Amino acid sequence: MTDNSLQAADTGSLETLVSKQQQFFRTGATRSVAFRKEQLLNLRNATLRLEADILAALTQDLNKSEQEAYATEIGIVLSEIRLALRKVRRWSKPIKVRTPITHVGSSSRIFPEPLGTTLIMGPWNYPVQLLLVPVVAAIAAGNTMVLKPSELAPATSSLLARLIRETFPEEYAAVVEGGLDTSTELLRQPFDHIFFTGSPPVGKVVMEAAAKKLIPVTLELGGKSPCIVHKDANIELAARRIVFGKLTNAGQTCVAPDYLLVHREVKAKLLNQMIKVIEQFYGNEPIQDPDYGKIVNERHFRRLLAYLDDDVRIAYGGQVDEAGCKLAPTLLEGVTLESKVMQEEIFGPILPVMEYDHIDEVLATVRIHSKPLALYVFSENTGFQKEIVENLAFGGGCINDTIIHLATPYLPFGGVGTSGIGSYHGEFGFRAFSHYKGILKQSSRFDIPFRYPKSKWGLRIIRKILR
């Protein structure tokens, strides 16, 4: 098998690779359901075979514990593969739809077809899951794939290159490693679809490059995802689930609660309970806990520290391990909408806490920011839940929990506006990598004359039917 991991931004090599994949796609080999299922099984077997190596790479890059790495990375990939294996035949079948009376004698069907040669660009925070779950969708839909893992998770990038190299021929799937130059060269290639997961600023760059060639995109981005805790919430449960969602991967999660909006009557109780939960999870000195994650690199570490220098008060945490790029779980009070920490997505273990008295304050605060990728509301009042869900725009979320909506293949996952374009997971991923072609089949046994020019009764009949 050829080496399908390119290490540099070699324009000629990239053009050759994309051309090879386009030629292979045109053979039709990827279209059969049997081929798709075989490749899904190959990906599953490779993931299982290299499980220990994947876990080691995630520990090296992000200090992820085995439990967290399996639950949030490998397990989600395997779950997506399992569902795709069961459902890909049904997803791929033509869909029969109704035909209006004006088209008498005809039948209508929608044919899902693969888009072609696709580019999948993954991020560093969940470098396995957020690269391979789109790969599962692309395989199920019948495409070829060029994969670009993040250079900020180098051990995992190298491991993913090995996994793909040992599993698929390069004309079908290949990994291209590298930094900004490599990404720039990839975005110049004539792909049929680009799937990008990352930050909104980089998403704009991807979309601009794609627009020059009218390449469709799926953008999975981020934003300031609020977590709302009403006065009637189960505070002990809310504290546990908020801390879990915020501190998984040391807060480096696109759907992590970014800031807390808590009713004034339960604020003190919630904060006290959250502190207890933090110490239950990670001890009195979390940065000393071997299972507590690290910040990916020094640049991001310094960016997070800058939030603590602003005019805010550290209610809990704030300790740092500079050598290990670790920042303790940190709760901030005295936060306003003008605070630096409220100007951009935090992407770290810092949680600003703001309070409210009335739901109108919640709605106004959330609406100040762009539409977030996620929103969480804790309340036992179904009316309050409904008012939040129906009156605020966001990608998706949970009621009385955080982040776990990401892990179900039966819900669409994606943002809206600046938090993303398009969605995926399960059948929604299949749709993201497919074109739905509408075909009308007309009978040749007879012909209705009223649609043609100069028909005596044509206009009268058309008016009667279409009114």
The three-state (H, E, C) secondary structure of 429-457, written as one string:
HHHHCEEEEEEEEECCCCCCHHHCCCCCC
Burial of 329 (0-12, 13-18, 19+ CB in 10 A): buried
In the CATH scheme, what architecture does the domain 5-221+419-439 have?
3-Layer(aba) Sandwich (3.40)
Burial of 98 (0-12, 13-18, 19+ CB in 10 A): exposed
Strands 106-114 and 434-442: antiparallel
Task: Decide: 120 and 131 in contact? Cβ < 8 Å.
Answer: yes
Hey, what amino acid is at 99?
T
* Structural domain spans, the chain: 5-221+419-439, 226-407
Tell me if residue 221 falls in helix, strand or coil: coil
Looking up tokens 């839940």, which residue turns up?
385
The pLDDT, as a whole number, for residue 102 is 82
Kindly tell me if the per-residue pLDDT of 11 is higher than 70.
Answer: no
Kindly tell me if the per-residue pLDDT of 6 is higher than 70.
Answer: no
C-alpha span between 429 and 450 (Å, rounded): 43
Kindly tell me if the per-residue pLDDT of 183 is higher than 50.
Answer: yes
35-73 pLDDT, tens digit per residue, is 999 999 999 999 999 999 999 999 999 999 999 999 999
Kindly tell me if the per-residue pLDDT of 1 is higher than 50.
Answer: no
Strands 144-148 and 173-176: parallel
Compute the average pLDDT of residues 369-381.
97
The pLDDT, as a whole number, for residue 461 is 73
Residues with catalytic function: 220, 254
Strands 173-176 and 5-6: parallel
Q: Which residues of 223-246 are buried (b: 16+ CB within 10 A; e: fewer)?
A: bbbbbbbbbebebeebbbbbbbbb
258-280 pLDDT, tens digit per residue, is 999 999 999 999 999 999 999 99
326-351 pLDDT, tens digit per residue, is 999 999 999 999 999 999 999 999 99
Task: Decide: 256 and 248 in contact? Cβ < 8 Å.
Answer: yes
C-alpha span between 330 and 251 (Å, rounded): 11
89-140 pLDDT, tens digit per residue, is 999 999 999 999 888 899 999 999 999 999 999 999 999 999 999 999 999 9
C-alpha span between 120 and 141 (Å, rounded): 14
Kindly tell me if the per-residue pLDDT of 460 is higher than 80.
Answer: no
Q: Which of 329, 336, 348, 330 is nearest to 312 (CA)?
A: 336
Q: Which residues, in sequence order, are bridge partners of residue 120?
A: 147, 195
Q: Which of 275, 404, 376, 272 is nearest to 328 (CA)?
A: 275
Compute the average pLDDT of residues 176-195.
96
Written as one string, the DSSP assignment of 139-178 is: HHHT-EEEEE--TTSHHHHHHHHHHHHTTS-TTTEEEE--
* Radius of gyration of the chain measured on its C-alpha atoms: 25
**Sign of the C-alpha dihedral, residues 31, 33, 38, 39?**
positive
Task: Decide: 36 and 159 in contact? Cβ < 8 Å.
Answer: no
Kindly tell me if the per-residue pLDDT of 4 is higher than 60.
Answer: no
C-alpha span between 244 and 248 (Å, rounded): 6
Ranges 148-162, 341-355, 438-452: which has the least confidence: 438-452
Q: Structure tokens of 62?
A: 């992000």
Q: Which of 95, 68, 61, 83 is nearest to 133 (CA)?
A: 83
Q: When comparing pLDDT for 286 and 465, which is higher?
A: 286
Kindly tell me if the per-residue pLDDT of 202 is higher than 50.
Answer: yes
Mean pLDDT of the chain: 94
Fold of 226-407: Aldehyde Dehydrogenase; Chain A, domain 2 (3.40.309)
Task: Decide: 225 and 347 in contact? Cβ < 8 Å.
Answer: no
List alpha helices for 226-283, DSSP H. Answer: 235-247, 267-282
C-alpha span between 92 and 348 (Å, rounded): 40
pTM: 0.94
Written as one string, the DSSP assignment of 345-385 is: ---SSEEEEEEESSHHHHHHHHHHSPPPSEEEEE-S-HHHH
